[in-house]
Structure 1
Amino acid sequence: MLALLCVTLVACTENKCNTGELEHIIRRYNHLVIQGYRNQDMNPMQEVTTEEQARKLYHHMAALGEGQLRMESELKGIIFKKTDLRGNSDATVETEETWDFSHRKMATNEKYAEEKGFIYRMGYVLNKKDGRWMITQVNTISGTSTNTVIPWPRLDRKGNRVTPSRDNAKPANHP
């Protein structure tokens, strides 16, 4: 009986330790995402993610850059909703994250679009390799806009802002 109790205590302590490690890795990931977009450099992401996952972030950053935009973001809060450890080397973590972010024009630093209090429900897949937890996949489960400060502008085919005329705001007449 004493041996079973010791094994249970060790397992619980180990899981608590793993949960703390996983939360630390996800917090570090979010910090590096903020820095990566700010500095236009996603290479540091490989500290906590696989090369493939870092490449996905790089492609998004590069697409913004092609549009002459840079994203600035701030993580306002994170709640760890669910952690599922499968053995000693596989885990999934669900979070609820509240973010403020804006997109700025690179040439002028003018705000192009801005959201405050955007709530993401996120799913992280982590694997332990050579004694280190690494994020192998990140999924957006849902996203909820709570305060659009500056909405994304509507653009024409040439990329110019389009302001809807009052006539276009009326519903179409049906025969």
Structure 2
Amino acid sequence: MLLIYSRKKGYIPLEILSIEDGKRLKSFRHLLHRNKKIDFIEQFNEKLLVKQDGENLQILDVTNSKITEVSSNEFVTPSAFIFLYEMQLFLTFRNRSVSVWNFRGELVTSFEDHLLWHPDCNTNSIYITSNQDLIISYCKAEPDDPSSEDNDLVASTISFLFDGRHADQVCVTKVLSLC
């Protein structure tokens, strides 16, 4: 378990505790850029993801203190995460898009057919299969008639996580606005 203490000048004190007995496993200070807001700090097993506003994503391996950086041009702060424990990957959600990353800071997959229905998705409308090979999401659907101006079509879109291929699209419906 990660404990995040109040920010100090130039760093943030962190502790990792055992979830079994509460004993402190590691205590350290993570250096920060001064006067930059912290967008997020997330822990995934022995990896710590730290992102500050306008700065690169830092992936810290807490076992050896090695830091991998991902350019802020490549990795933009997401609105939500899902960690894939079996595959040692994580999904990010931002502006209706889904991306899959590894802990070496490499983009594994992006989904061209997966335009999420809600602009700043939370993970409530996302399902990952138990063997972590498919993603099923509530998405915008393409109308059968490309000249149609109907943008209220929705579908459950199914895609393969590792290569972004489209698997299926089901339950196409029309969203009705209620007055």
Q: TM-score range by the shorter chain?
A: 0.3 to 0.5
TM-score of the superposition, structure 1-length normalised? 0.33
State the structure with bigger RCO (CA 8 A, min sep 6), 1 or 2: 1
**Higher helix fraction: Structure 1 or Structure 2?**
1
TM-score of the superposition, structure 2-length normalised? 0.33
Q: Which has the larger radius of gyration?
A: 1
**Higher strand fraction: Structure 1 or Structure 2?**
2
